[in-house]
A and B are shown apart, each in its own frame.
Chain A
């Protein structure tokens, strides 16, 4: 399990060179383990067992522990000194812990063994461990493995790694007929909206990945068309392509323009004529435009600065500039995958300052100097910047809220208005 560098340039470059500021230094970001915080809700029959240190356990409970769980859906197998010294056989230990867990929670259908920095550094082979545990527990429980370590993954890349681990076990498609696979965790309500639109256009069959239950895996193979709903799924998409699926490159379904382009991408493959397409989206588009109007007035001409966090930054910046009239000071993102991002980048205003990676102190200096009207950043920076008089939008919420699609376009814009609106209301 060699450690792969996490910002290699993917081989498939689509357009010419892009001027991007690449910075190295302190990175104020989450590791991929954080994905567990929403994945455990998306797939309720799954359990996430991190193999790591007390730090890993502490991270997850600090994020999710404010909710009170009668039945936890994640936990950590904490490595002790005996494990590090090789006094305890890692496989025996893991077997014991998994047995303890599964006897407590017989309802678990899929168990993810999640790698962490400590387990990667000491080269604990969790893939092998998962294989051996499957011999024992499959088919009652399926055991999968991925890494959410900070040295390899940033925040939402944890979902990418998790979905990537599911790709090899997806059933093979029984025929070569076209079938649509929507990739990326979406809010249930958003999934239902998209499903209705696809049905109206006559696009189908449609499946969503991840499924709502880890046991209900969609099939994949020749004829599978990938419509990607989240921009951070580099590895998952490539693995699906290896299984014969075809990527439909597209902007992401944020805002009216993004959603229309996204749906259009699928409609073109299914040869849906313009009239039928327009007919299906018209009511939702007009609703969305009405909903957006009041926020466009507020955001128009204001300046936005986006710190790197989730890889949603570029699509969001595109939405903020093209649909809300905002001026982009800097669009930071932890990682740019040209394969999944070129359709978005080409929609950004020419000359947008893009940055990949981070040196947080220098970036804060740039942000303070620009005095943006809205700063999109993580929770480690939000309150400190608010105290300096800057309006912030904490970026994690962008991963946790239903924001894709037409009927959420106004909600998305509202998130960026809320903080300044709040300042306007508060008199003390």
Chain B
């Protein structure tokens, strides 16, 4: 058993639902107990869909367990086929049905339906949502295209240079992070370099569309968590190369265009040049009033403009699915000038890639789906900004740290009405606004650092967000109030912290040291406290005074 306060992913059958709901003409019969229909709300409420997901649940109850639950599966399959007349049926089980082992997939296959039936084996007690989605997409594509696979040794015919190259966009699903708008943005990028979209799947695709996948020259693996397995199979079966760069961030978008240039053998230099055009500001009147799509992002100039200088070195902790975490790390450091102090993912399948990124920044990646472990890592790193999932909002609230969401799991507020991609030029604009918004504005930050006794602008207050001071940012009482609260789970073994000599002397703060610490702006105070204590214990100092604090500051820097 694993204590889970919040789970980063749902069970694998929710992944299957995300594929089925993304598509047209696909129906999913799910062997599941009464109550598992809650998952419909993910689509009707969080994503605000205007129709029910194409899912029929057997919804067995206790009284059915003594009877013939297998018969319920058959009835559900029959009724679902007769009512919805899908072109393909997916059949699988939820975690409880897995325990009673009715083999719904085999049952459905034996019923002689006149359509393909894809039986899904998704181990609910060891795998999770993204894996379920990836596996479902793979089995679906494979069962539809198996008969068309190129014979061994065959190669794709060369593309006629007179014909524009065609790409499949693989990966966007229902309930994905901003997939709806990301697709539009990718289509703009492709249009800009003269590439046509062949099939977008699974979002919006029909089984017939999946049959057309081999017509494309290459596949764009937009969300590896969902699409990589399928792209690899297509590469083996149809010799279609895979474009692996995910175009989130200005740099990554340029790399994406360059990679397509290589894979499709086309000249993309004009698009790359255009994308550089606004880096140093090109906001003349005609550009501002131009109706033309700029073909570039505003992020580079916004990030270079002087009011962004206070962002330099802001300490950021990043957590999410691997794709968005890796993209965010690059944007945060190379495009916004933050300092990365922590990075991690819950996508175990992509742990290696995240570890490599972490290593570049001299960090140890947090590879975990344990919310409490992530909370501990965030508290330990005491960042000034957390870029994470809906779950990191809980952590950030507890620790009093600004937070923005960059990845699933999400809730209803991250499926906005407005156009809000993460991908491409406009995606970078959205990211600049969303990531900077939770931080204290520069002027306010300066003034709170200067004058600490204001009756309205108390510390921790962010007047542009109406946030009241964080409770732990207050400085009353005897102990040192630290803006970064420790998770209770680790207070006990905090001293000495791991990696320190175990014979470390116990530290105490002198009254004047403590008073001085309270004068440090609250969002860096936690870090200063840690740095000073480490500095002191390394030198055998037992009582930390004002001088110790400033010596540590001089030795370590901000």
Name A's B-contacting residues (CB within 8 A). Answer: 3-7, 25-34, 51, 53-55, 57-59, 61-63, 65-66, 68-72, 74-81, 83-84, 88, 90, 93-94, 96-97, 100-101, 103-106, 117-118, 120-122, 149-152, 154, 361, 378-384, 386-387
Task: Determine which of B51, B59, B394, B398 lies in contact with A26 in the assembled complex, contact meaning CB atoms within 8 Å.
Answer: B59
Nearest-Cβ distance from residue B243 to partner chain A, whole angstroms: 32
- B38-59 interface mask toward A, CB cutoff 8 Å, 1 = contact, 0 = none? 1111101110111110001111
A62 touches B35 (CB 8 A): no
Nearest-Cβ distance from residue A36 to partner chain B, whole angstroms: 13
Nearest-Cβ distance from residue A364 to partner chain B, whole angstroms: 9
B residues in contact with A5, CB < 8 Å:
61-63
Given A54-B128, A66-B411, A97-B1, are A379 and B96 neighbors across the interface (CB < 8 Å)? no
Task: Determine which of B4, B49, B100, B391 lies in contact with A76 in the assembled complex, contact meaning CB atoms within 8 Å.
Answer: B4
A residues in contact with B124, CB < 8 Å:
53-55
B51 touches A387 (CB 8 A): yes
Q: A63-B41, A104-B488 are in contact. List 8 more A-B contacts (CB 8 A).
A: A4-B62, A55-B13, A58-B7, A62-B38, A69-B397, A78-B4, A100-B3, A150-B34
Q: List 30 A-B contacts (CB under 8 A).
A: A6-B61, A25-B59, A26-B76, A29-B35, A29-B37, A31-B33, A31-B38, A53-B11, A53-B95, A54-B10, A54-B11, A54-B95, A54-B124, A62-B39, A62-B42, A65-B6, A80-B2, A81-B123, A81-B125, A84-B99, A97-B3, A121-B65, A150-B59, A151-B34, A152-B61, A379-B40, A381-B44, A381-B52, A382-B44, A384-B51
Check if B60 is an interface residue, CB within 8 A of chain A.
Answer: yes
A6 touches B62 (CB 8 A): yes
B residues in contact with A31, CB < 8 Å:
33-36, 38
Give the total of B residues in contact with A, Cβ under 8 Å. 68
The residue of chain A having its C-beta at the shortest distance from the C-beta of B2 within the complex is A78
Q: How far is the CA of A387 from the CA of B43 in the complex (A)?
A: 14
Nearest-Cβ distance from residue B337 to partner chain A, whole angstroms: 28
A53 touches B37 (CB 8 A): no
Given A31-B34, A104-B488, A105-B488, are A121 and B99 neighbors across the interface (CB < 8 Å)? yes
Check if B496 is an interface residue, CB within 8 A of chain A.
Answer: no
Q: How far is the CA of A324 from the CA of B9 in the complex (A)?
A: 45
A379 touches B44 (CB 8 A): yes
Nearest-Cβ distance from residue B508 to partner chain A, whole angstroms: 24
Check if B5 is an interface residue, CB within 8 A of chain A.
Answer: yes
B7 touches A383 (CB 8 A): no
A residues in contact with B289, CB < 8 Å:
none
B62 touches A120 (CB 8 A): yes
Q: How far is the CA of A361 from the CA of B29 in the complex (A)?
A: 14
Check if B126 is an interface residue, CB within 8 A of chain A.
Answer: yes
A151 touches B4 (CB 8 A): no
Name B's A-contacting residues (CB within 8 A). Answer: 1-7, 9-11, 13-14, 33-42, 44-46, 48-52, 56-65, 76, 79, 83, 94-96, 99-100, 123-126, 128, 372, 390-391, 393-394, 397-398, 409, 411-413, 487-489, 492
Which 3 residue pairs across A and B have the least CB separation, nearest first?
A: A31-B35, A150-B35, A380-B40
B393 touches A68 (CB 8 A): yes
The residue of chain A having its C-beta at the shortest distance from the C-beta of B66 within the complex is A3
B489 touches A103 (CB 8 A): yes
A residues in contact with B83, CB < 8 Å:
361
A residues in contact with B397, CB < 8 Å:
68-70
A residues in contact with B45, CB < 8 Å:
379, 383
Q: Which of B14, B48, B62, B409 has the most CB of A within 10 A?
A: B62
The residue of chain B having its C-beta at the shortest distance from the C-beta of A31 within the complex is B35
Q: How far is the CA of A59 from the CA of B34 in the complex (A)?
A: 13
Nearest-Cβ distance from residue A115 to partner chain B, whole angstroms: 12
A residues in contact with B44, CB < 8 Å:
379-384
A70 touches B398 (CB 8 A): yes
Q: How far is the CA of A65 from the CA of B405 in the complex (A)?
A: 14
A residues in contact with B49, CB < 8 Å:
383-384
Q: How far is the CA of A33 from the CA of B487 in the complex (A)?
A: 27
B residues in contact with A90, CB < 8 Å:
1
Given A57-B7, A151-B65, A361-B83, are A27 and B59 neighbors across the interface (CB < 8 Å)? yes
Q: How far is the CA of A383 from the CA of B391 in the complex (A)?
A: 26
A residues in contact with B1, CB < 8 Å:
51, 77-80, 83, 88, 90, 93-94, 96-97
A27 touches B488 (CB 8 A): no
A3 touches B33 (CB 8 A): no
A71 touches B398 (CB 8 A): yes
